[in-house]
Amino acid sequence: MHLSTATRGFLAFLLSVPALQGNDGWDVTYTSSYVCALRGSTVDISCTYKYPNNQNDKVEKTLWFTKRHSNQPVDLKNDADYTGRFEYSCAKISCWNSWLKCGTKCTLKIRDLRQSDSAVYKFRFITNQSRGAFTGTPGVTLSVTDLRVEVLIHPTNPTRVQLECHSMCGLAGGPPYIWYINGHSMHNKFNVNSEDSYSCTVEGHEHLRSPSVYFPKTPSVRVSPSGVIEEGSSVTLNCSSDANPVAKYTWTKDPTNPSFRHTIQGQQLFFNPIQSSDSGEYLCKAKNDLGTKSSSISIDVKYGPKNTSVIPSPSGEIKEGGSVILSCNSDANPAANYTWFKDNQFLLWEPSQPYTFDSVSSEDSGTYHCQAENKYGYLSSNSVFIDVQYAPKTPSVSVSPSGEIERGSSVTLSCSSEANPAAYYTWFKEHEGSVEESGQNYTISNITSEFGGNYYCQAHNAVGLHNSTLLFIVVTDPSSSSAPTTTVAAGTVAVLLATILLLIFLWMRRRASRNARGQGGRLDAGEESPPAPVYDNVSALTNRSAPAAQREPIEEQDDLNYVSIRIFRSKNQEVPCQFAGAPVKSDHTEQVLYSVVNLKRPKAVPE
């Protein structure tokens, strides 16, 4: 910046317009009606007074005053503001010409002028005449001012300034000025620096230095009250800077983010009440004619949770086995801790963390919400329903009515399966494919033998499918049910009779053999042994392992003997066999029935 100086003003300026006051020879004439002086200097205020002079008349008292008390002038001698700083002096004026009206000149001297000394000063004299006293009006106006440095900004270049040293008195003349930079005198031109201060004085009166001018110092920014700032409280930001000329202040929020910038004028910035949105950085700029300095402060408004919400990821359809993350979000300062609930029941999940279902299952379906909480409050979120979709579980099947189903009757097959979304059902007959029937229930009216066999259902939805177990359907013919039963019963009786006759025959043979041994014990040489008994498909269990000489009598034992009986039927004839618990339709011409026979073995068995 460029600096230049101007020479204006002096120690005092006297407006030399005599103030003539008179009335029948009584008058006061002031040397000047206006005096402008510098603070700290000394000033003289003078006047001349006269009155009709008789031989025995005399002046008893003279005084200067600026104030009145009870309408009576207060002598400066009695004014504490001037104690030790003023003096009076009066002297008669010699008349060199007898026809001139001569008088007395009085002077008021005030030292170490102050700004408070600026006032109208009047002179008053008191005589022993009957009239008494006289006051000269309107008096002398004293203006006490400083030397000051004015900053002039170049009209076309704001970065260029000019410094001028002058006073308010605006005196003519050109006394030499002395400039000071940071208290050191300078007689040459210099450039203005933002870190320096500048003042001036009149040569010969260096003690009457002007106040310094300087750039604003780095502002001090404070927040009141100090400490934690809670939402809803009253907060004030205050910015102050030492500057001359006095600085003006501007506040800017978030100066680094132009989209959020807004400016407020004034040394103080008020928030009543403060909101969470008021958090941020505030920049204070202190500016005067010389330049600008700035400083910033950050405020952090604490508040309870707001806008608490649950966000599932992924959103939309959730299939069993997939990964799902539940996140609880909330606007809070400080950051909130979170508590989770499923169907309004507390869940032991880690606070402040999203919850992850690594492999979600149908049991995880339900309504979830969270609660955000910090030291300034708490707030519950919205509720989110987690609908886990899964393929049908193994279907269960049933038939109504149960048991044997007679031809011509009606039967209903039912299928059910747990699934999400709800399952669709399709019916199949084993080895024949779909029966072209859909629905949870499959009804067969006027059933015939062709409908007998194994059935199963298939439950399916958008996620997958599952087949049921087989359901066996048996269709019987009511008109032929008695004949097969009679035939089987007759066959069973015949088998039992044949078994009894065989047992009797065996018992008699063994008894005859035992009698023969009792009579001779052995056969003669050349005698033929009786033929061995022949059994039709019967295996007799005997003790044949030991030699005859070593054999001991054996007690009679009950042994199990198996008899195989073959029954021949015509092809495709239905034979009700009690083995399977239900009639069996067979394409074979013979069937084998098994019967258990108890045989009692004699104590001694012939070899």
State whether residue 78 is helix, strand or coil: helix
Instruction: Between 107 and 4, name the one with better pLDDT.
Output: 107
Asked whether residue 81 falls in the same domain as residue 151, the answer is yes
The answer on pLDDT for 489 being more than 60 is no
- Judge whether 525 lies within some domain: no
Q: Which of 452, 360, 472 is nearest to 406 (CA)?
A: 452
Shortest CA distance to 224 belongs to which of 216, 236, 208? 236
Q: What is the pLDDT of residue 249?
A: 96
Cβ atoms 455, 429 nearer than 8 A: yes
Q: Of 252, 271, 299, which one is at a domain's C-terminal end?
A: 299
Query: Do 177 and 113 belong to one domain?
Result: yes
Looking at the predicted structure, is the pLDDT value of residue 440 above 80?
yes
Same domain, 320 and 262: no
How much is the pLDDT for 235?
95
| Residue 391 pLDDT greater than 60, yes or no | yes
430 shares its domain with 493:
no
User: Is 267 a member of any domain?
Assistant: yes
* Strands 140-145 vs 34-38: parallel, antiparallel or unpaired: parallel
Do 15 and 103 sit in the same domain of this protein?
yes
Place of tokens 């002031």: 30
* Residue 261 located in a structural domain: yes
**523 found inside a domain:** no
Q: What pLDDT is recorded for position 426?
A: 92
pLDDT reported for residue 170: 58
> In this predicted model, what pLDDT tens digit does every residue of 25-62 receive, in sequence order?
788 899 989 988 888 888 999 999 887 766 567 888 89
Please indicate, yes or no, if residue 605 is contained in any of the structural domains.
no
In single-letter form, the type of residue at position 221 comes to V
260, pLDDT greater than 90: no
Per-residue pLDDT reduced to its tens digit, 505-536: 888 888 777 665 555 444 444 444 444 444 44
Confidence band of 256 (pLDDT split at 50, 70, 90): confident
The predicted-structure confidence for 273-289, as pLDDT tens digits, reads as follows 999 989 999 999 999 98
Residue 547 tokens read as 């030699």
* Together in a domain, 349 and 371: yes
Q: Which two tokens stand for residue 273?
A: 């009440």
Q: What is the mean pLDDT of residues 105-114?
A: 92
DSSP structure class, residue 492 = H
524 falls within a domain: no
What tokens appear for 550 in the block? 């070593």
Phi-psi region of 280 (alpha: psi -120 to 50; beta: other; left: phi over 0): left
Same-domain check for residues 325 and 250: no
Give the end of a domain, one of 299, 319, 349.
Answer: 299
CA dihedral sign, ordered 167, 171, 175, 176: positive
Helix, strand, coil % in the chain, rounded to nearest 5:
10, 45, 45
Confidence check: pLDDT of 544 > 50: no
- CA-nearest of 108, 165, 125 to 27 is 125
Per residue in 62-87, pLDDT (tens digit) is: 999 999 988 889 999 999 999 999 99
Q: Both 62 and 28 in a single domain?
A: yes
The domain spanning residue 251 has which CATH number? 2.60.40.10
Comparing C-alpha atoms, which of 343, 374, 338 is closest to residue 355?
Answer: 338
Instruction: Give the pLDDT of residue 573.
Output: 40
Average pLDDT over residues 439-456: 88
Q: How many domains does the chain have?
A: 5
pLDDT above 90 for 250:
yes
**pLDDT for 96:** 56
Average pLDDT for residues 313-333, to the nearest whole number? 89
Identity of the residue numbered 202: V
Task: Give the tens place of pLDDT for each residue, 177-234.
Answer: 888 998 888 776 777 888 889 988 887 777 788 888 999 999 999 999 999 999 999 9
As beta bridge partners, residue 104 has 49, 92
Assign residue 152 a region (left: φ > 0; alpha: ψ between -120 and 50; beta: otherwise).
beta
Binned at pLDDT 50, 70 and 90, residue 5 comes out as very low
The region of weakest confidence among 142-146, 162-166, 170-174, 543-547 is 543-547
334 plus 293 within the same structural domain: no
Token pair, residue 214, equals 């300087």
Tell me, yes or no, whether 607 lies in a domain.
no
CA 501 to mean position of chain CA atoms = 99
Q: Which residue has the tokens 């008899």?
A: 563
Give residue-wise pLDDT tens across range 131-169. Answer: 678 888 889 999 988 888 888 887 777 777 888 887 777
| Residue 172, domain member (yes or no) | yes
| H or E stretch covering 104 | strand 104-110
> At 281, which amino acid appears?
E
The mean predicted confidence, pLDDT, of the chain is 77
DSSP line for 364-413: G-EEEEEEEEETTEEEE---EEE-EEBPPPPPEEEEES-S-EETT--EEE
Claim to verify: residue 101 and residue 128 sit in the same structural domain? yes
* pLDDT at residue 587 is higher than 80: no
Rounded Cα–Cα distance for residues 49 and 250 (Å): 59
pLDDT value for 209: 84
Residues 468 and 453 both lie in one domain: yes
Same domain, 237 and 144: no
Amino acid at 455: Y
Top pLDDT among 326 and 191 is at: 326
Banded pLDDT at 375 (limits 50, 70, 90): very high
End position of a domain, from candidates 214, 240, 262: 214
Domain that holds residue 456: 396-476
Predicted pLDDT of residue 157: 77
Confidence of residue 555 (pLDDT cuts 50, 70, 90): very low
pLDDT over threshold 70, residue 376: yes
Quickly list DSSP for 207-227: TSPPPPEEPPPPPEEEEES-S
Q: Which of 23-37, 426-440, 441-455, 479-493 has the lowest mean pLDDT?
A: 479-493
Place of tokens 């300087």: 214
d(CA 487, CA 318) in angstroms, rounded, equals: 64
d(CA 126, CA 58): 9
